[in-house]
Amino acid sequence: MPRQARPPLLIAVLIGVGIVVAQALLVPLFAGPAANLGPRDLPVVVAGPAPAADALAAHLPPGAFEVTRVPDAAAADALLRDNQAYAAFVLSPSGTAVHTASGASPTVAQLVGQAAAGMNAQVTDVVPGSPDDPRGAGFASGFLPFALTALAAGAALALLVRDRWARFTGVLVFGVLAGLVGPLVLQQWLGVLTGDYLLNAAAIGLFATAVAGFVAGLGSLLGRPGIALGVLTVFLVGNPLSAVSAAPELLPQPWGAIGQYLPIGAGGSLLRSTAFFDGAGAAGPAWVLGTYAVVGLLLALVGGLRTRRTAPVTEPADRVAVAA
């Protein structure tokens, strides 16, 4: 008995309802973290004599800052350059000064600068971002295409390339080329990045390999559902939790911390460390991205082997029948 087709009207209604449900889930996922930005254990430094430093630390909002006390401005600046804090309050007989590291987060630097204005304190940017991108908007906007193109590359390799070693090679070729071309655009042309070209190329290349490999690996193992899972993990969940345009400590927790274990969050942190801190603080994000890259490439190989074993084999009799 022929299977009865579903009415077109029912299909149209189900599509509309399903997309609206997805919209209702995505809007708070994207808008919620951005609408609730605020310091949550934000690493800062207080430098100066112990009694005065303790008094200032006690006046900071509880739970908003994670305070490290150091004896002087030189020690505070060293922590900023090592990418271990976002700002420093430096106490001296002449008053209070505020040192920032806008390369780590222009958003935090602006917030601290506003607080410094209320304290009548002089602000010094110890680790500035690019002078051509003072608000960091170019960094955040320019990083997103790296994620989108890596997702597209991984999906295309999973769907169009059947041979597992060819797929493996395709991920590596894409990662290398993305790493070489990315800084040419963001650094040499647009001036969004500073620092060493090769370090920035390595950061972008590792990120591209991690995302493309992860999606290609899931797609090779699970087919189209695997690609959807990769996009969900990397972009739909990972992008709003990445804090590329802010700082992980500004997002509601534990979501800000979770975002740093997803590719976009780790990639943004890695590129900031290479572009503005000479690689300081790069180890953690590099390990995260390296794990995604290795797991993805292994899945691509295993998935390709599974596809080969489950492919239908044409028997000699079938070949004769086809030839006849």
pLDDT tens string for the chain (324 positions)?
A: 556 667 888 888 889 998 998 888 888 888 888 788 889 999 999 999 988 888 888 888 888 899 999 999 999 999 999 999 999 999 988 888 999 999 999 999 999 988 888 788 899 999 999 999 989 999 999 999 999 999 999 999 999 999 999 999 999 999 999 999 999 999 999 999 999 999 999 999 999 999 999 999 999 999 999 999 999 999 999 999 999 999 999 999 999 999 999 999 999 999 999 999 999 999 999 999 999 999 999 999 987 666 555 555 445 545 444 444
111 with 202, same domain: the answer is: no
119 with 230, same domain: the answer is: no
157 with 107, same domain: the answer is: no
Task: Count Cα atoms within 13 angstroms, Cβ side, for 270.
Answer: 29
**Enclosing domain of residue 194:** 137-310
75 with 207, same domain: the answer is: no
Residue 306 lies in a domain: yes
Question: The pTM is what?
Answer: 0.89
H helices present in 36-136, as ranges: 50-59, 73-81, 106-119
CA–CA dist 92, 98 (Å, integer): 11
Total domain count, the chain: 2
Domain edge (last residue) among 125, 151, 182: 125
163 with 120, same domain: the answer is: no
91 with 223, same domain: the answer is: no
Instruction: Count the neighbouring beta carbons within 10 Å of the beta carbon of residue 57.
Output: 15
What is the bridge-based pairing of β-strands 122-125 and 87-92? Answer: unpaired
